[in-house]
Structure 1
């Protein structure tokens, strides 16, 4: 599915790509609304009704991913709440097998995530995936979300790579579209980011349910 003979740099998303999105979906759709309801003496349904448009308004913006922003907005310790739920953090099947293969092939391997550094630190602490990567980049380092073109320009300026020999694997179609507009040549989507949700039908980009579908032809780089 991927032309590995022309790929030298591999960029990987974290949430929904390497890690099961069930943690984040449950956190934002159930756990945070319940704590918001408790704080304001609302029913869970009322809390969800109030939060839904506030969340929607921030989608695709850096604020959507910023724990400090939501802590201030909701008067909740979002980083602390994530710690409470950390037992749900899980690595997708076949991820470490894929990461081992990329490392063994001699290609550069970068984690490129919209996750806030506090969330990123918690997830690396729980999964120990940081050992596989040459660099770990949070969009918060640049003040730009991956959905924005300037994010990719800044990433390329800081971590020099060639667009024509770069692969991005991500579960977010808006992020993949942004990377495509920037000119990244090799793109792949994860079609089952949440283990408890159905497989998504994706036709816009090459897609795989898990990383087994991306490993064909992955041999040592020339």
Structure 2
């Protein structure tokens, strides 16, 4: 698949797993929260994981999934405070800063578009200092819909003036790429190396990359090849 950067005005980028290593989030929700929940409720860690994993699954593909206030109330834990305990695990994927610099130097409109809650965004932007690279940042909580909903991408245009035919979306979620595809976003890229702790597996549906440096063309070639 060839991409001619002259055909792209806007780049939409997901955060967790796409720009940032998802190891932080996986460790936090699958290990750290159960550990604190088990201690608070006086139950064994395996039992805490069984209880919490079921609750997490019940809210997949909804805004509650990433709503820190929702989980604080439901679990009886201060979730934002617990995130601070493991914030040292927050990390930017290799090649991300170089890619963001390329986009800004190329005059593209670059938007961070994420399902993440505002409190998570604040923590991660403070930790990574990526904020200044973006034209703007939009949370799905502002839109009122998660990216898993087809209608999300239309409502996003109320905040981001983009032309789907001249837009590239980078995501580590095939589901979200699918809803964007149905809306008509033309250039779709799957980030297969979403976590430093897993072996990357390319998508069978979308062009895939491991690192964003793969999308930076050589100076003498404005077109690039995305591995299928």
Number of the residue aligned with 1:150: 151
TM-score of the superposed pair, with normalisation by structure 2: 0.93
Number of the residue aligned with 2:183: 182
Whether the 8 Å contact between 1:113 and 1:137 is mirrored in structure 2 is yes
The structural deviation recorded for 1:6 is: 1.3
Alignment of structure 1 residues 18-167 onto 2, 5 Å:
18-167=19-168
Distance 1:116 1:24 in 2: 13
The structural deviation recorded for 1:157 is: 2.3
Whether the 8 Å contact between 1:170 and 1:176 is mirrored in structure 2 is yes
Whether the 8 Å contact between 1:105 and 1:219 is mirrored in structure 2 is no
Whether the 8 Å contact between 2:202 and 2:209 is mirrored in structure 1 is no
Distance 1:197 1:166 in 2: 29
Number of the residue aligned with 1:214: 215
For the residue of structure 2 that corresponds to 1:189, the secondary structure is: strand
Distance 1:206 1:215 in 2: 15
The structural deviation recorded for 1:2 is: 4.7
Distance 1:91 1:115 in 2: 16
Distance 1:78 1:150 in 2: 29
Whether the 8 Å contact between 1:22 and 1:195 is mirrored in structure 2 is yes
Number of the residue aligned with 1:5: 6
Distance 2:170 2:2 in 1: 11
The structural deviation recorded for 1:110 is: 0.4
Whether the 8 Å contact between 1:2 and 1:186 is mirrored in structure 2 is no
TM-score of the superposed pair, with normalisation by structure 1: 0.96
The structural deviation recorded for 1:40 is: 0.9
The structural deviation recorded for 1:158 is: 2.2
List per-residue Cα deviations over 1:86-132 (Å, max 9, x = no partner).
11100000100000000000010000010000000000000100010
The structural deviation recorded for 1:7 is: 1.0
Size of the alignment, in residue pairs?
Answer: 220
For the residue of structure 2 that corresponds to 1:42, the secondary structure is: coil
Distance 2:2 2:173 in 1: 18
For the residue of structure 2 that corresponds to 1:110, the secondary structure is: strand
List per-residue Cα deviations over 1:49-104 (Å, max 9, x = no partner).
11111111111111001101111110001111111111110000010000000000
Q: Structure 1 residue runs of 4+, over 6 Å off?
A: none
